Structure 1
Amino acid sequence: MKFRVFPIIILIIILFNTSCSLPRVLEKSEKERPNWVYSIDKDHIIVEGVGYTWEEAQDDALKKINERIVNSVAVNVSSETSVSVNETVIDNISRYSQNTELRTNISTDFFNSLRGISLNKAENFYWEKQKHKDRTVKIHYHIMYPFSERELNGLLSEWVKMDRDFTTELDNLEDEVENCDRLSDLKLLHEKAVYLEEIFSGARKTRASLIKTEIEQLIEAVKFEIQSHERGRLILMLHTTDRYLMVNKNADFTSSCAVLQDQKIIENGKALEINYDADFCYSEDKASFRINQNYSGTNLGLDFLIPEGENTARFTISEPVRFKRSPINPDNIRWYIPIRIFTEIPFTVTKVELIVTHESIIDIRKFIVGEEKESYFVAEIEEEFDQKGDFSLQFDVPSGQNGKATLISQLINIFV
């Protein structure tokens, strides 16, 4: 008697455990679950969407409809075209399911008809609100969506046309890159190469990747190139690995001494001529300026040393000028002009002229006799310099010229 009871107890325990592992239906849209749920139908797609809310469950169901349609096309395309095409579409399915902007756009480009999928076109639906063994409550949304053989063939035709168009676009991309002469256009072509690389697989994916890498190298190698530079005039070009690019017509010019005069495009847009005034840069050692330009987010900048003018000596008065009576002739005035020479170009000082006008900053005009508007002296000298450094330019000036007292003699009588 005991041996007969034991199997019955085991059977009851097994049935009890099995029933406890199944979700419990809390609510449902119909009294009985329809027969089409979890079935297969030739002219329909049947899916189940799951979510914590009605919206999540419906969205999940719509996404699965899209994936099923893409899968249907992928299977047929792979058998009619090539394995690489099948891999491409499957890759797109994966990207589509991740629901990122770029990857969703790729799937939508391939299958424009998917934009029209909505719950309103569902032929049947059924939902259940279930409580699972982990005590979570989820909505299970079942949809029977019409998808006939005719619709599948339409999508196949669309895919074949789209695939052909993308291949043509890839072929044209190589020519566009080869002939491109604008940095902004190179960036647009780079975006297109990235886009095509995402779409294709196999040999075409490799081609798109190589084109993308070539464009990246062209962009990274862009730099300013000096065609010519003489004091006051710079001709600048934009160069990359194997070509010159079109330059922008405007550049930001900054300098502590030079002043921009004008800039213009020359040589059919391939060169920028910049004219500047460097007259106030003689006192600066290694005077320079900077050029900056922006090309669709790419900032290019370069510093340029201002070259010395041809046969131009550069020097300045470095300290206050001094004068006293000449040790040789007391009637003359010895001038001491301290100068700092910045160049090694040999030059000779042959004349020094001093002019004092009514517009002079220093107020020594009161020593001018009568109605004279200016008083001056001219010293004819001959002193040579041929190296950098600090020097003193010395010369004697008579206190009177042409039998007439000058401003210098008046100053000497007062200060010397």
Structure 2
Amino acid sequence: MEEFYWEKIENKADRSVHYNYHIKYPFPHIEMWKLVEEFKKRDRELTEQLDELLASVDKVTSVEDIERSIGELKVLAHYFMDGRKDKAVLGITRYSSLFDGIELVELESDLGMLKYALRLGDRYIESTRKPQVRSECARITGTINNKEHTIINYDYFNCYEDPENHIMVTYRFGNNTVRKPFYFDITADKAAIFVNEPFHFKALSTSNGVVEGATLDIVLVSKYAAPFTVNKVVLEFPEQTPLVVDNINESYQGKGNHALKLMINDQVNVENTSTQGKRISMLSGYIHFKSDKTGEMKTYRIYNHNYTTNW
């Protein structure tokens, strides 16, 4: 101990007095130098950390990278007292603005399943954050949260045919809310057809009151966009053996009208089937088809449907 002294401290508010005892302790210059060098080294390390964080703004690969970088920059902004403080504050602003650019992008979907990812600009980013998921009609049955994408499974049993059916997915990143509705169509797997235009028969050859070969043009109307395949057509005329066209295997996709052209190889009685001189002629029968989405076999019943012939 080299020196010491007492310091009298008086509180002007209540006139109380207390004393501080000070001791001057010899501090070797070598120790002072070591402390200064440690400070300089730590200062360099923090400066390098700041520079690295600022250079990595456009290279983040996950939401967690953004949050972690903002946290580190806040510590640096509190530490620095010079121009580096301003750089750290600017870095916080730049990283925080990345949240505004995050969007939800659908990767794959099927009725009952949604797969999406987070995208920032032109690249996908990861996140371990779980989303908030809701729907007005669908029941969410599971959420699989992978780093690179998220899969949501849902039950649509209680949903009606409504173009507004959707799954709403919401995230909270920093002070930003990222939200997107993913729409689904409960008719996506449905296959249903009907006919509303007359069938047109055209004889290719006739002999002794019998059509020995003919073509048939049918306009099918699909109620939904799902793909389907026509397998077999059965046509029934009064006093005529049913005409059967099998192994058709004609596939269609899309809502609306589709042309089906068939070759009739069975013999057809001209007198019993001709529409010449008749005000109206009708037939009945069946169209057998398959939903390509589900494999379900279905049958459309033709009942008293108009047709025309050229014989």
**TM-score, with normalisation over the residues of structure 2?**
0.51
Cα distance change of structure 1 residues 252 and 209 upon mapping to structure 2, 3 Å threshold: closer
Partners of 1:197 and 1:209 within 8 A in 2: yes
Task: Tell whether the 8 Å contact from 1:288 to 1:303 is kept in structure 2 after alignment.
Answer: yes
Pick closer, same or farther for the CA change 1:342–1:141 going to 2, 3 Å.
farther
Is 1:205 matched up with 2:85?
yes
2:103 corresponds to 1:217: no
Q: Could you tell me which residue of structure 1 aligns to residue 32 of structure 2?
A: 152
CA distance in 1, matches of 2:304, 2:166: 30
- CA RMSD in angstroms, aligned pairs only: 4.4
- The code of the aligned residue for 2:98 comes to L
Classify the secondary structure of the residue corresponding to 2:137: coil
1:232 counterpart residue number: 112
Unaligned runs of 5+ residues in structure 1 are 1-42, 45-122, 315-340, 352-377, 385-416
The residue type equivalent to 1:210 in the other structure is L
2:134 is aligned to: 254
The structure-2 alpha-carbon separation of the partners of 1:180 and 1:147, relative to structure 1 and needing over 3 Å to count, comes to farther
| Structure 2 residue aligned with 1:73 | none
How far residue 188 of structure 1 moved from its aligned partner, in angstroms, is: 1.3
Q: Which digits, 9 at most, give the CA deviation of each residue in 1:166-203, with x for residues without a partner? A: 12222332355443312123111111112222323444
Deviation string 1:14-55 (CA, Å, 9 cap, x unpaired) is xxxxxxxxxxxxxxxxxxxxxxxxxxxxx97xxxxxxxxxxx
Does the aligned pair in 2 maintain the 1:129–1:139 contact within 8 Å? yes
Could you say which structure has the higher helix fraction?
A: 1
Give the drift of 1:159: 1.3
Relative distance call for 1:199 and 1:310 in structure 2 (3 A) is same
1:218–1:249 CA distance, 2 compared to 1 (3 A): closer
Measure the CA separation in 2 of the matches of 1:279 and 1:131: 78
**Does the C-alpha gap of structure 1 residues 214 and 280 become closer, same or farther in structure 2, counting only changes over 3 Å?**
same
Instruction: Give distance in 2, aligned partners of 1:265 and 1:179.
Output: 23
Q: Is the 8 A contact 2:156 2:186 kept in 1?
A: no
Structure with higher Rg: it is 1
| Distance in 2, Cα, partners of 1:186 & 1:288 | 30
Cα distance in 2 between the residues matched to 1:194 and 1:287: 43
2:63 maps to which of 179, 183, 201:
183
Who is 1:286 aligned against? Answer: 164
CA contact 2:187–2:224 (8 Å) conserved in 1: no
TM-score, length of structure 1 as denominator length? 0.40
Give the Cα separation in 1 of the matches to 2:27 and 2:116: 64
SS in structure 2 of the partner of residue 212 of structure 1:
helix
Matched residue, 1:143: 22
In structure 1, what is the Cα distance between the partners aligned to 2:174 and 2:128? 11
Q: Structure 1 241/199 Cα, relative in aligned 2: closer, same or farther at 3 Å?
A: farther
Contact kept in structure 2, 1:230 and 1:307, CA below 8 Å: no
Contact 1:218-1:241 at 8 Å conserved across structures: no
- Which residues in structure 2 correspond to 1:336-375 (within 5 Å)? 346=256
Q: Is 2:120 aligned against 1:270?
A: no
Secondary structure, in 3 states, of the residue corresponding to 1:286?
Answer: coil
Contact 2:99 2:173 in 1 (8 A): no
1:383 & 1:125 partners in 2: Cα distance?
120
Shift in Å, 1:383: 10
Task: Please report how far the alpha carbon of residue 224 of structure 1 lies from its aligned counterpart in structure 2 after TM superposition.
Answer: 1.9
Please give the per-residue CA displacement for 1:289-341, whole angstroms capped at 9, x wherever unaligned: 32345668976543333235448589xxxxxxxxxxxxxxxxxxxxxxxxxx9
Q: Which has the higher strand share?
A: 2
